[in-house]
Amino acid sequence: MNAAVIGRVATYVVLAVLAALLIFPLYVAIVFSLVDKPVKILTDPPVLLRDFNWRVYPDAFTNGDLGRYFVNSIIMSLGIMAGQLVTSVLAAYAFAFLRFPFKKVLFALFLATMMVPVEVIFTQNFQLILDLGWKNSYQGLIVPFLAFGFGTFLLRQAFVAIPSDLRDAAALDGYGHFGFLTRVVIPLARPMLATLSVFSFLLAWNQYLWPLLVADDRQYRTIQIALQSLVSTSPDKLNQGYAAVIMAFVPLFLLLIFFERQLVRGLTAGAVKG
Amino acid sequence: MSLSQTRMSLNDGAGTYFRSRRARVSETLWAYAFLAPSLVIFAVFVFYPLIRTAHQTFYQPGLYPDAPQRYIGWEQWTDVLGDSDFHATILRTLLLSLMTVLPALVLGLLLAWLVNQPLRGMSLFRIVFSTPVATSVAVASLVFLILLNPQGGILKVDWLTRPTPALMSVALTNVWQNLGITFIIILAGLQSVPDDLIEAAKIDGAGPWRRLRSVIIPTISPTLMFAFVILTIVSFQTFGQIDILTQGGPQDATRVIVYDIFTNRGSDPGAAAVKSIVLFGGLVLLTFIQFAALNRRVHYGD
Amino acid sequence: MSFARRNRWLSLIAALLMIVAACGGSDDSDDNAEDSTPSETSAGSNEASGGSGPNVEGIDIQVGDCAVDALDDAGDVVELTMWHALAAQSKTALEQQAERYNASQDKVHLTVIEQGSYDQLQDKIRASLGSDELPALAIAEDTTTQFFIDTRSALPVQACVDAAQYDTSDLLPPWIDHYTVNDVLMALPFASSTPVLYYNKNAFRAAGLDPEKPPTSFAELREADAAIVESGAAKYGLSLKLDSWLVEHLVRRADELLVNHDNGRSARADELLVDTPLVADIWTWLQDEVDNGGLIAVEDKSGQFDHFVAVANGNAAMVIETSAAIATVRALTAGNSVDPGTSGLDAEDVDLSKLDIAVAPMPSFTELTGSSQAGGGGAFIMANASPEEQAAAWDFLEFAMTPEEQATWHVESSYMPNNILAVDEPAVKELWAADPAFAAAYETFENVDPEKARGPLIGPYQAVRDAIEDGMDAVVLAGQSAADGQDISTEKGNKVLADWNERAG
């Protein structure tokens, strides 16, 4: 064996060990979720799957009323994602292609919103939602997040990279701003739009603090909040609690498998390379 | 890094499309029409609440709805800023940030570097190492609860019930959950390192370690900075992990600023507002430090 | 430990887990009122109706109007929503009671919504103040009375009592007194409970202790701990959650005060009185007992159930917790799965009947000069509900307080029968004969001077509890001196009280 082979084997070993460590917590959660008798989780936490029972999953889904929470999370995440795409595309277009007064100030303002995460303003924002009568409603979950500074920034980066002769060509073809945007810019920026969609969906799906405050009614509760209460209030049904955890994880994991390359490329093109 | 560069080049592409003087006014109108949706949302749901929060720092609301607010003035600020519990909270928040950001950065770089080799099967590892991206705060925290729970935890450790280990447990959960995005960002950076740079270093006889240290890391420093900023902001916002794992305990050992605001928002809205603005100040400061660092030392070509 | 034996512990764990689930809050009570026949009865001593005691200075309670007749004029069925924080058997019992109520009449439809723990429920009420998100009726923790007064968010039940000319003299006097402020009854006792000692008779036998003579004082508790540890019957004697609630009850039992101004009942409390020899003794006792290895103490946080698990897995033989869990424990030890098919528990799998969990009154720290403290959950009617909803809430409460309903409630939920006439109901007599545990908790309040059972009035009760627990944790868990712990609690508690009073104006 030459040194290169040894090096390669060593790399694989290191990778395998790191991968195992990284996956271990999720693996244990899966084991827990399949345990037939939840009592055993507390007395003798299983590391290996022995008495597994697939029924836990449908039971968890039914008993935990997970369907409703999933639907709420999906409505919220899709709503935020779609809204952010629209507002960010429009704003990014203005910043990339148009000249207008206070452009720098406004762009700085957009970037500045990144310094005001929901954690800073949630008390007053919540008060506002109460005043609007939006507590326990989809609009309360969605509307505050319908604009996205970072998304605007990412798209603007992509738009600026569009070759200038295309703009001239579009102008010659008689396209107005809207025509240029919809027929040239958006098709060309599709990879970045995909990246932004995934990113935006992920962030919305994973929200915790805001839905905890705004949607305390079961009817509007999101899956993230439901998970916490499933696990913490039913120690006698931990297997179902963790089945719910895994079920909340899997859709995003699938999304990740399909879009991982896209995410890497998009972030490379947008944020990292500038 | 990218943000500052963008600022500097903001006008590069602008105004080259519809140049005619006649179109100026219409261009402005179009621009504002396009910006309007975002601006309305930001105004109502970001800046207005921010101003209300700032205003609240000087007032204490009464207990019942519609009760008159009482003006407290700067005293409310000095009370909070002089409170030794709050000092401890800030210190704790910074400590948690440190324990989150550095390990995540180092591990993310290590993983990305290992995966970014021309070996077979790397796409599998790439998926594996990206996995935490698909976990939410709730999922990550509940998963770590399995490992760390003193009764019935897999690791049979007593971390969540003792102050220092409890904070470290929260940090560990943070690191794990953020490792995915860190890995993805850094890998993206590595993939943009020109091959000829690496080749040149190889020809110079640099081993893998030296290549990493003297060629790769300097080249991807903007990426690392980006990851650093994202991680720092995320770590400042840590809330769900604490809500699920420790609820600020034991003995306030994991009471970081956001959790502090959350639990005090009802009992002491004035103080909670001051703390919110302090958190905001921290984020602003962080951003400026980032820009300063960027303008000073980050250079890269493309 | 043989496998069979191990299995038994598994089942006990399961049982105890259910207790955890059962106690949404610290303790609770329910009550039953008979609408017509007022009668002299045995238990209690006070004339319940208006309550007694001094007026709280500087607090002005607007009684307001309760349109008890509004239901007659309401055209449609009135939708009534009730929030609560009960769980497990108690939650089921409440849901069944709601079903019975809905079946009993056609003017009101009651929906009960569980809102997590008592703390979470209060947070939700606080967060929704002034909005239309509030229900018409809430079973909130008894400690929230002053909160409801200060936030003006409750319609004092007194208004409905007056309007309906309802006689409260059959309701548990200590609790009526507990909820009465300035002669205004703020809430009806609903989920009433008290702390009790759960002990494993098997462990007592193994340790050579008399299983029929559980400890009645903390001195005896220490002896029992030592005997249990020494004999190896369990690793620890006692298992405890370091809950402020425990301190509050021990203080009340010694006839001492938790806060100044007569526990906040003559004027707004502005001083936390934990800097006393009694509290120092309690905390030192706990600290010593941890050091001796007789006590396993865990921090109070939501979802904390390690203190139960300790008893369950054989680590400890005793635990002090709410009486409201008796029904859940009994259901399990009888071999009934509380939630068949989902908890994975069934009688064949784990032999729960071999558990020998008995219930005794909570031991006293000093010679018993006071009384157990009235506690649990009270039924508060919300001020901003419509007159129809308020009338519906009152209608349900009248239904729930009848002796028959209270007998069922007591049997099914193990909360106290709030209507003292319920103890004459056959169902209750039968239950008490079969299981003295239920009677033991109730007896704690028989022949008690309500004045001594009345708990403190504190606006920021939750925050004061946090302050007390900070000091207690510092002493018991972190090994600081009692004096240091008392300083921590006093400083934080006084600040919390001052902040609140400032906001109250």
CA atoms within 13 A on the CB side of B107: 23
Instruction: Provide the residue range defining the domain that includes A262.
Output: 56-272
Task: Provide, as residue numbers in chain B, all residues whose Cβ is less than 8 Å from the Cβ of A263.
Answer: 133, 184
Q: Measure the CA–CA gap between C411 and C425, rounded to whole angstroms.
A: 11
Residue B250 near residue B183, CB atoms below 8 Å: no
Residue-level length of chain C: 505
Which strand (E) or helix (H) includes residue B276? Answer: helix B269-297
The distance in angstroms from the start CA to the end CA of chain B is 12
Reference C221, options C198, C248, C189; nearest CA is: C198
Q: Are strands C154-155 and C238-242 parallel, antiparallel or unpaired?
A: unpaired
Which pLDDT does position B150 carry in this prediction? 66
For chain C, say whether B268 makes contact (Cβ under 8 Å): yes
Mean pLDDT estimate for chain B: 85
Domains in chain A, number: 2
Mean pLDDT of all residues belonging to chain A: 87
CB C442 within 8 A of CB C424: no
Q: Do A236 and C115 touch (CB under 8 A)?
A: no
- A partners (3+ CB pairs within 8 A) are B, C
* Same domain assignment for residues A246 and A136: yes
SS3 (DSSP) at C478: coil
Instruction: Report the alpha-carbon distance of residue C465 to residue C244 in Å, rounded.
Output: 5
Give the amino acid at A96: A
- Beta-carbon neighbour count of residue B239 at 10 Å? 20
Residue A232 belongs to domain with CATH number: 1.10.3720.10
Say yes or no: A177 contacts chain C, CB-CB below 8 A.
no
In the predicted model, is pLDDT for residue A138 greater than 50?
yes
Q: Are residues A27 and A150 in the same domain?
A: no
Q: List the domain range (segments joined by +) for residue B111.
A: 83-297
Query: Are B113 and B48 in the same domain?
Result: no
SS3 at position B209:
helix
Chain C residue at shortest CA distance from B151 = C306
Token readout for C52 is 């007694």
Q: What is the pLDDT of residue C258?
A: 96
Cβ separation C133–A237 shorter than 8 A: no
B-chain CB neighbours of A145 within 8 Å are 45
Q: Which of B177, B176, B287 is nearest to B226 (CA)?
A: B287
Answer yes or no: is B256 within a domain.
yes
Tell me chain A's radius of gyration from C-alpha atoms: 23
The whole-number average pLDDT for the span A222-226 is 92
Q: Which of B10, B41, B56 is the last residue of a domain?
A: B56
Q: Cβ–Cβ of B64/C496 closer than 8 Å? A: no
Q: Which of residues 322-361 of C touch A (CB under 8 A)?
A: 338-339, 341-345, 349-350
Distance CA(A106)–CA(A104), nearest Å, equals: 5
Whether B75 is in a domain gets the answer no
The pLDDT of residue C20: 46
Across C324-382, the runs of DSSP E, i.e. the strands, are 357-361, 375-382
AA letter at C468: I
**A110 occurs within a structural domain:** yes
Residues A23 and A85 both lie in one domain: no
**What pLDDT is stored for residue C434 in this prediction?**
85
pLDDT tens-digit readout, C20-77:
444 433 333 333 333 333 333 333 333 334 445 567 877 888 888 999 888 887 778 9
Give the end of a domain, one of B10, B39, B56: B56
Measure C209 CA to nearest chain A CA, in Å: 27
Helix H or strand E encompassing C239: strand C238-242
| Nearby residues of A10 by Cβ (< 8 Å), 6 or more positions away | none
Listed residue (C145, C153, C87) closest to C117, CA to CA: C87
B94 domain-assigned = yes
CATH, residue B131: 1.10.3720.10
Q: Does residue A177 fall inside a structural domain?
A: yes
Helices (H), C276-325: 277-292, 306-312
DSSP result, C7-65: HHHHHHHHHHHHHHHH-SSS--------SS-----SS--S--TT--SPPPBT-------
d(CA C440, CA C446): 10
Residue B238 lies in a domain: yes
Close Cβ partners of A103 (under 8 Å, ≥ 6 residues apart): A95, B10, B11, B14, B31
Cβ–Cβ < 8 Å for B77, B270 = no
Is B67 part of a structural domain of the chain?
Answer: no
Chain C interface includes B246 (CB < 8 A): yes
DSSP C62-131: ------TTHHHH--SPEEEEEEE---HHHHHHHHHHHHHHHHH-SSEEEEEEE-SSHHHHHHHHHHHTTS
Are B146 and A45 in contact (CB < 8 Å)? yes
The answer to whether the Cβ–Cβ distance between B41 and A160 falls below 8 Å is: no
Which residue in A34, A40, A41, A43 has the most chain C C-beta atoms within 10 A of its own C-beta, making it the best mutation to test that interface?
A43
Question: How far, in Å, are C35, C280, C419, C450 from residue C43 at the CA level?
Answer: 18, 34, 10, 11
Contact C363, C213 (CB under 8 A): no
Whether residues B50 and B97 fall in one domain:
no
Is A193 within the bounds of a domain? Answer: yes
Query: What was the pLDDT predicted at A262?
Result: 74
C386 — phi, psi (to 5°)?
-70, 160
Successive 10-residue mean pLDDT values, chain B, 302 residues: 43 50 83 96 96 94 86 93 94 96 95 88 90 92 84 73 89 95 89 83 83 85 84 90 87 92 87 95 86 61 36
Contacts of C338 in chain A (CB under 8 A): 236
Number of domains in chain B: 2
Residues A19, A104, single domain; the answer is: no
What is the Cα C421 distance to its own chain's centre? 21
Any domain includes B78: no
Interface test with C, best of B145, B151, B252 (most C CBs within 10 A): B151
Domain termination site, one of B18, B39, B56: B56
A17 and A95 assigned to the same domain: no
Q: pTM of the full predicted structure? A: 0.83
> Are A24 and A93 within one domain?
no
A178 shares a domain with A127: yes
Residue ranges in chain C whose pLDDT is less than 50: 1-12, 17-51, 335-354
pLDDT tens profile C342-391: 333 443 344 444 467 888 888 888 877 777 788 899 999 999 999 999 99
Nearest by CB: C150 against B64, B150, B247:
B64
Tell whether B176 and B28 lie within a shared domain. Answer: no
Task: Give partners of B (≥3 CB pairs < 8 A).
Answer: A, C
Of B15, B37, B185, the CB nearest to A87: B37
Is A126 inside any structural domain?
Answer: yes
Provide the shortest C-alpha distance from residue B284 to chain A (in Å). Answer: 6
Are B38 and B110 members of one domain? Answer: no
**B116 and B219 fall within a common domain:** yes
| C-alpha neighbours within 13 Å on the C-beta side of residue B110 | 12
**Contact with chain C for residue B84, Cβ under 8 A:** no
Same domain for A128 and A188, yes or no, is yes
ipTM, 2 decimals?
0.89
Which residues does C206 contact at the CB level (< 8 Å), separation at least 6? Answer: C231, C232, C233
A39 shares a domain with A60? no
Same domain for A33 and A96: no
User: Can you give the pLDDT at residue C364?
Assistant: 87
Q: Is residue A49 part of a domain?
A: no
A7 and A142 co-located in one domain = no
Q: Which of A136, A229, A236 sits opposite C14 (nearest CB)?
A: A236
Q: Do C473 and B251 touch (CB under 8 A)?
A: yes
How many Å apart are CA B152 and CA B235, to the nearest integer?
28
Same domain, A21 and A97: no
Mutation to test the A interface, candidates C91, C131, C339, C352, most A Cβ within 10 Å: C131
For chain C, report the end-to-end CA distance as a whole number of angstroms: 62
pLDDT at B296: 61
Give me the domains of chain C, ranges plus CATH numbers.
70-193+372-448 (3.40.190.10), 199-371+460-505 (3.40.190.10)
Residues B137 and B283 in one domain: yes
Chain C neighbours among B 135-194 (CB < 8 Å)?
150-152, 161, 163
Tell me the C-alpha to C-alpha distance, in Å, between residue C204 and each of A102, A178, C201, C212, C321: 81, 83, 5, 9, 18
Whether residue B274 sits in one domain with residue B182: yes
**pLDDT per position as a tens digit, B181-207:** 899 889 988 888 888 888 888 888 888
B73 falls within a domain: no
